[in-house]
Structure 1
Amino acid sequence: MAVKKTPRAAAKIDQVPWSGIRPAPVVLVTGPETFLAERATGALRDLLVAEDPALEVHDIEADQYSPGMLATLASPSLFGEPRLLRVTNVEKCTDAFITESISYLQAPADDVTYVLRHGGGVRGKKLLDTIRSGVGGGIEVLCDELKKDTDRIDFVQAEFRAARRKIAPSAVRTLVSAFAEDLAELAAACRQLLADDDQEITDKTVDRYYGGRVETNAFKVADIALAGRSAPAIVQLRHALATGEAPVPIVAAFASKIRTMAKVSSFRGSQGQAASQLGMAPWQVQRAQRDVQGWSEAGLANAITSIAAADTAVKGGSRDAHYALEVMVRVIARRGEDR
């Protein structure tokens, strides 16, 4: 069932991305991307510790909340140390938590930073609406999923920019392709590269660390096939399947590549216009234009047909899904031509 989202446009408080978190009496951290939420709250803690190393940190689980807990933790301490109250599971909170938090918002305690993490859903909506209305003087930190490759590319570039290090654009794309399913793993890969290599990060660097993972990636198989290298593509396909790559994502990777090529091939205009009107990054347009060179309309049609057949096969329509994948790879490597 689809999760109903609270309209953010109605908010009267500042809404900032996870990377723009800053101290405020109340900090509402929303969105489904757990890794970014943890990164944001960790950054906030570091900022507060930098202001006062005596910071006290208290963690509250909203789904296990007991009446009176907030008042106790927010009450003035003996030596007046600043406090950070971090609340998790607000999307599963108790009724007492909602009632007492709304009451607290009317007069937030001095030297207390109240952070509420809400992962999504309608539970606690009254509390969220109160914060968004401006009561309590809070801000909202948005931690949406990075679904698009362009978003993940921006993330990687920001990681290296923050470290004042250089990484080649092609190396960024390779990293994103290798860790497309897990943002935490992508961030960890960036940290390892930054820690272990003090030179500019290139494709060779990424391949040295993550070559095995990159080689078994579905998009890697597609790239080799699109380069017209049928035999190596089949070898990589078999290796990918043998190391756990599922058939369905492999077909999806080919479908994504061919679909993008078809869009670009039929577009008449500049690269910038194509990027804008097709909703793609300039590098995606450039790569698709390169990949589609030498393809005919009939070849693209045959490729699409072969992908559709493979998709049916890997979803139960054939007893030998792996063979169907190999047929698809060979058709793509021949640019869809019958020969």
Structure 2
Amino acid sequence: MASLYSSVLLVSGGVEFLTERAVRRALEQAREADPEASVSEVDGARVGPGELTVMTGPSLFSARSVVVVRGIESLPAAAAEELLAYAAAPDADVALLLSHGGGQKGKGVLDKLRRCSAVEEVKVAAPKPWEAGRWVSAEVRHLGGSISSDAADLLVAAVGHDLRSLAAAADQLVDASTGADGKRRPIDVTLTRQYFGGRAEVRGFDIADAAIDGQLADALEQLRWAIGNNVAPVLITSAFASGLRSLARYGVASSQGLQEAELARAVGAPPFRLKKLRTQLRGWDAAGIATAVGVVARADLDVKGAADPLFALERMVLDVAGARSR
């Protein structure tokens, strides 16, 4: 990114966490460029007439200034006109940082800003569910670390798709991968499982993968650990249902000659997951998958009813593994 001074940075998108983080990083960059610069921050809805003109005008206390206006979609009409007039000829000693929360509100101002040569726009967007692992990998790289694709997928399964939580988890793993000498080792599945493997969702997917792979003893051992550690039975049946649905969709989509990204979208899984599904599918046919889906549906009803959950889940694991074609 070029110097923020004498320009206008516009951050747009509908993801509050990403938008705010982009503004915060730009603010830090402007401060690093001139630690003596004065900083003014204001919410767009609260900008009164003439206020932007004052904020972007010469400062009595410092040569440079940084002005942050969040939520320009809520700017009053008078303030919006002042903003557009300033953006057409920004001051060389001012860094103006703007954020727009997405949607149609304030689109007229947004479109006019985009036509100003001094305005640089950064668009932020949440990754699609199948891109979450790739997003984690990019997040880790930004923090100066590296993570394997399997570890990134495991982290998503453990933490979920909330970007704020994923970013915090990535930061924790990068910190954990840093030795006393400051060197960072690659983040692998072992390290990720050490910090996040106790999450219920991960255990459920591990059990499901083991059963779908035909590793019966491993699946039963992990199941008993999960029940003994109070993992909710419905999370386990949900993981089985999700794994089998992905396998079924992969079986259909993989015969259509799709590129990897298109295949991932069709399956609804991250690209890193496709290799695992490809391997799993070798042991299944369509009839077996249909049988296993029925088994899981019955087990889900059982654990939500009065049935003994361990018995119902053990029977599910045995029957799912038994439905494999080979």
- TM-score when scaled to structure 1? 0.75
Q: What letter corresponds to residue 243 of structure 2 in structure 1?
A: K
Q: 1:141, CA displacement in angstroms?
A: 1.0
CA distance 1:177–1:53, shift in 2 (3 Å): same
Q: 1:188, CA displacement in angstroms?
A: 1.5
Q: 1:60, CA displacement in angstroms?
A: 0.7
Q: What letter corresponds to residue 264 of structure 1 in structure 2?
A: Y
Over the matched positions of the two proteins, sequence identity in percent amounts to 29
How many residues matched?
310
**Corresponding residue for 2:98?**
116
Equivalent position SS for 1:201: coil
Determine which of 14, 19, 27 is the counterpart of 1:32: 14
Q: 1:195, CA displacement in angstroms?
A: 2.0
**Corresponding residue for 1:304?**
293
**Corresponding residue for 2:182?**
none
Determine which of 121, 124, 127 is the counterpart of 1:146: 127
Q: 1:130, CA displacement in angstroms?
A: 0.6
Cα distance in 2 for residues equivalent to 1:123 and 1:325: 52
Cα distance in 1 for residues equivalent to 2:123 and 2:36: 28
Determine which of 155, 168, 175 is the counterpart of 1:175: 155
Which moves more between the two structures, 174-183 or 123-132?
Answer: 174-183
**Corresponding residue for 1:197?**
177
1:48 lines up with 2:30 in the alignment: yes
Q: What letter corresponds to residue 191 of structure 1 in structure 2?
A: D
Post-superposition Cα deviations, 1:42-88, rounded to whole Å, max 9, x if no partner, equal 22123222322222221111122222211111111135522221112
User: Contact conserved, 1:219 with 1:253, CA < 8 A, in 2?
Assistant: yes
Q: 1:223, CA displacement in angstroms?
A: 2.3
Superposition pairs of residues 17-166 of structure 1, within 5 angstroms: 23=4, 25-78=7-60, 81-132=63-114, 134-135=115-116, 137-150=118-131, 152-166=132-146
Cα distance in 2 for residues equivalent to 1:214 and 1:237: 8
User: Contact conserved, 2:220 with 2:314, CA < 8 A, in 1?
Assistant: no
Q: Calculate the aligned-residue CA RMSD, in Å.
A: 3.6
CA distance 1:62–1:295, shift in 2 (3 Å): same
CA distance 1:71–1:155, shift in 2 (3 Å): same
CA distance 1:119–1:292, shift in 2 (3 Å): same
**Corresponding residue for 1:258?**
244
**Corresponding residue for 2:199?**
213
Q: 1:225, CA displacement in angstroms?
A: 3.4
CA distance 1:215–1:148, shift in 2 (3 Å): closer
1:334 lines up with 2:321 in the alignment: yes
Cα distance in 1 for residues equivalent to 2:16 and 2:315: 37
Which moves more between the two structures, 256-265 or 212-221?
Answer: 212-221
Residue segments in structure 2 that go unaligned for 5+ positions in a row? 179-184
